[in-house]
Structure 1
């Protein structure tokens, strides 16, 4: 599992870094090409970066799909547990398992339907407008990312059954944040 965890983290960080660099260079290109430096301006104007925005959108979509799976694994995914925390302890376990298995079923359905959609899309000649990439590759983020998210829900449920613990993101480790949240000066 550690290899999958590291692959997931590496993929998210790489997609985010690539999108950030592409946006940075596209903006730099836009402003630098306005300077009246003959050779530089001619060279910059000869570059076509019309594909940059489309690629960044696709990179962020992929990053968000895999980031949601990471969120389930690490406990930072959005969860509403106000009602569960007010229940008697004997009912809490059942509600937590119901929520985890509901997440797994939902993401399993989305992954299956996404896979069928990608399969159908692969048999068309549809390409993206600027990159001219096959659209099935773009949409492959849906079944891959959502399948991983389904796996993570099942993984968290299995851990909860064995240990009674679910991952939770604790921001209290940030220096001074505990006191700040309590209203005390840091």
Structure 2
């Protein structure tokens, strides 16, 4: 039950962060494009001596320019940072991380199991170290009181993505190792679900080789 709640929370968080980032980028692009159109309309109206249109275009330009979105780029960067850290943990859970498994696939029996355990254990150790170092960095940032230049939010909140995301990723590696030791299951992405890849053709090619 707890794992299902965590899985659902992970998916909702990543989807929400992605949606917010895409929406913010869209609004920022439309804002910048509208400024250019309004400025061009002012020049065109002036050249054609159309006072009413010129006044309207100037008013529109001032109104659009008053909507300051200088913080949009910074906000998108932070959203993508959080999305990437939690997305990495999600990737471990469903097995979509890129890996060089040529050696492991060539092994059988105990040797293959040992190599798989070593690989997963390495992921656990690495992400645990990153989580620990990230937590220390967040603590120092909290004590320093650093704020972001545009959003003016506490930077420790932004940096919190590192220890939290790494800790969740570490947990996913532990979970994957537990599943492997108890059931022999290793999470992997079904290549047949990837658009543009013909799984049957790849299988046939491997058979010919």
CA distance in structure 1 between the partners assigned to 2:98 and 2:4 by the alignment: 23
RMSD (CA atoms): 1.7
Bigger radius of gyration among the two: 2
2:186 counterpart of 1:166: yes
- The one-character-per-residue Cα deviations of 1:36-92 (angstroms, maximum 9, x if unpaired) are 334432211111100000000010010000000000000001222110111132211
More helix per residue:
2
Taking a change above 3 Å as real, the CA distance of residues 106 and 174 of structure 1, as seen in their structure-2 partners, is closer
Taking a change above 3 Å as real, the CA distance of residues 42 and 130 of structure 1, as seen in their structure-2 partners, is same
- Which residue of the other structure, out of 27, 30, 41, is the alignment partner of 1:28? 30
Q: Unaligned 5+ residue runs, structure 1?
A: none
Q: Which is further off, 137-146 or 120-129?
A: 120-129
Task: Name 1:138's counterpart in structure 2.
Answer: 158
- The one-character-per-residue Cα deviations of 1:3-45 (angstroms, maximum 9, x if unpaired) are 0001001111110110000000000000111223344322111
- Which residue of the other structure, out of 4, 14, 31, is the alignment partner of 1:2? 4
Q: Secondary structure at the match of 1:33?
A: helix
Task: Name 1:101's counterpart in structure 2.
Answer: 121
Give the ranges of 4+ consecutive aligned residues of structure 1 lying more than 3 Å apart after TM superposition: 173-176, 179-184
TM-score, scaled relative to structure 1: 0.93
TM-score, scaled relative to structure 2: 0.83
CA distance in structure 2 between the partners assigned to 1:181 and 1:88 by the alignment: 22
CA distance in structure 2 between the partners assigned to 1:32 and 1:42 by the alignment: 11
Structural mapping, 1:1-186, within 5 Å: 1-34=3-36, 35=38, 36=41, 37-173=57-193, 177-179=198-200, 181=202
Q: Unaligned 5+ residue runs, structure 2?
A: 42-56
